[in-house]
Chain A
Amino acid sequence: MSQETDKKRKKFVTAIILFATVVAIYITVILKVW
């Protein structure tokens, strides 16, 4: 894997983890009050 591709993959993985965290917190808040 080239350095450039590896960097892109790392950026993508970081963003996906953060986005998943956001969605998980959003859903948890609503379900908790449900």
Chain B
Amino acid sequence: MAAVHGDAHGHDDHHPSGIMRWVTTTNHKDIGTMYLWFSFTMFLIGGFLAMGIRAELYQPGIQILEPELFNQFTTLHGLIMVFGAIMPAFVGFANWQVPLMIGAPDMAFARMNNWSFWLLPVAGTLLVGSFFVPGGAAAGGWTFYPPLSTQGGLGVDLMIFAVHILGASSIMGSINIITTILNMRAPGMTLMKMPMFVWTWLITAYLLVLVMPVLAGVVTMLLTDRHFGTSFFNAAGGGDPVMFQHIFWFFGHPEVYIMILPAFGIVSEIIPTFSRKPLFGYSSMVYATASIAILSCVVWAHHMFTAGMPTVGQLFFMYATMLIAVPTGVKVFNWTATMWRGSMTFETPMLFAIGFIFLFVIGGFSGVICAIVPIDIQVQDTYYVIAHFHYVLVSGALFSLFAGVYYWLPKWTGNMYSETLGKWHFWLSMFFFNLTFFVQHFLGLAGMPRRIPDYNLQFADFNMISSIGAFGFGLTQLLFLYIVISCIRSGEKSPEKPWEGATTLEWTHLPCPAPYHSFEKPPIVK
């Protein structure tokens, strides 16, 4: 480790202090930290909106939110969680971890990296601020289908502007990540020697480059329909609102995988570490990730089976969607096989990783069920779909983010988190998450529609259970905030290598915390 310590102190470490350090920083660790704090802030705001939704649905009848405001809450909850919380959180992980894991000194374009981040607070402010403009925020759902989105007020314009900005940020971020991975790997680190987290991010970044301009195109057309007299999606002017849905979901379905592939990467790092075995079937994991990414681009219309399409189209999109279960199954098999006969221990990151596998598989199965056309036509726009995608995005993406934070906190801060509180966080999250969302399967199957602030009396009991679960889940995340802050401020000093089974470069070649400038001389990978 002597060489490593030399690396830590050998650099003229001049950078501004105070707020200017964060405004002007080009350091990937600073920028990664800012991404993570920003996404957690947005997670709390999106979570507040979720609490509002569940409070309203606690009982039948209108309780605290008028229907118009309820619709704004559901719309902004989705937009903020997808674009403001989950995606920036994974970019934060990429910023911190990709250079450390490939032995690079920083991201390829450090100034662009700073710019990518600082666009986010602007977009976040526009989204949140849209609640306070005349007419309120966008209320047509996070998918902003026309004609609702072509008819809304100023809030829709702010949302369109915010989505443009977030898209630009994502595109710059993904170009940066691809360029870094392709050009700045340490000598000896061939593509097939890269850690799985890096592989998943490389593939995710390509997906972003492919689909973000599609989203940008569709929101630009929405904007011109609203203000410049075009009729791309206006049926009265010869346009086609269903075309919007096709284009949106050509972006929207790969977007789901943009939010889950890096999660696969994090879990693929944690499970081998705490099983003390190499990842089972590394190359099949790489090919499975690439297969999922490719297939994700040919399944978009399964979101629109009820919008009307030829039978042959329905069959194609149904079978193509089911096909995704194959590479996903390969991944689940490989994670399980990695654990098989391993010397497993169950620290908090491992608990969240195993929780991820259990619950993501449930979300995957309900996804295959939704892919079957006759069933989808029954459950379309019901709480069954809500339950399905929250199993994928909360117990999938969010649990993996928690796992990753606990796993890399010692590397980022130099301190250990409280293992006892971490385990409390996991078990409470596990309990309340299932309390919230498992019952929503039954609500959906019984026919309760989504995006409605009131409901029939027959749905009352399950809704009350779901709301209690949601309040518990929300409060549990404040415990997570406490754990992270107390780790940073007063956590026990981390050993040089807190996880004995870790094998990637950031654990084997760098101390804890990672120095401000790392790998100025690239390590040799054998």
Contact = CB atoms under 8 A, between A and B. Distances in A.
Interface of A: 7, 10-11, 14-15, 18-19, 21-23, 25-27, 29-30, 33-34
B213 A29 contact: yes
A8 to B, nearest CB: 9
A29 B108 contact: no
23 contacts: A7-B184, A11-B109, A11-B184, A14-B108, A14-B179, A15-B108, A15-B109, A15-B176, A15-B179, A18-B178, A22-B212, A22-B213, A25-B210, A25-B213, A25-B214, A25-B217, A26-B213, A26-B214, A26-B220, A27-B217, A29-B217, A30-B220, A33-B247
A15 B175 contact: yes
- B179, B214, B216 pick with most chain A CB within 10 angstroms: B179
Count class of interface residues, chain B? 20 to 34
The interface residues of chain A, by DSSP majority, are classed as: helix
Interface of B: 108-109, 171, 174-176, 178-179, 182-184, 209-210, 212-214, 216-218, 220-221, 232, 243, 247
A30 B132 CA distance: 32
A18 B173 CA distance: 12
Contacts of A7: 183-184
Contact of A30 (B174, B176, B217): B217
A21 B218 CA distance: 17
A10 B523 CA distance: 21
Contact of A14 (B171, B183, B220, B247): B183
Nearest to A28: B217
B243 A33 contact: yes
B304 to A, nearest CB: 16
Q: Please provide the 3 A-B residue pairs with the shortest distance between their CB atoms, ordered closest to farther.
A: A29-B217, A26-B213, A25-B213
Nearest to A34: B232
A30 B224 CA distance: 11
Contact of A29 (B109, B179, B182, B247): B247
Contacts of A15: 108-109, 175-176, 179
B164 to A, nearest CB: 11
A27 B216 CA distance: 10
B214 A33 contact: no
B250 to A, nearest CB: 9
A3 B217 CA distance: 39
A14 B109 CA distance: 12
- A10, A21, A22 pick with most chain B CB within 10 angstroms: A22
Contacts of A22: 171, 175, 209, 212-213
Given A15-B175, A18-B178, A26-B217, A10 B209 contact: no
A29 B183 contact: no
A23 B93 CA distance: 27
Contacts of B209: 18, 21-22
A29 B216 CA distance: 9
A18 B174 CA distance: 9
A27 B247 CA distance: 13
A34 B220 CA distance: 12
A18 B179 contact: yes
B175 A19 contact: yes
Contacts of B214: 25-26, 29
A14 B216 contact: no
Contacts of B179: 11, 14-15, 18
A23 B168 CA distance: 11
A30 B243 CA distance: 12
Nearest to B224: A30
A27 to B, nearest CB: 8
Given A11-B183, A18-B175, A18-B178, A30 B210 contact: no
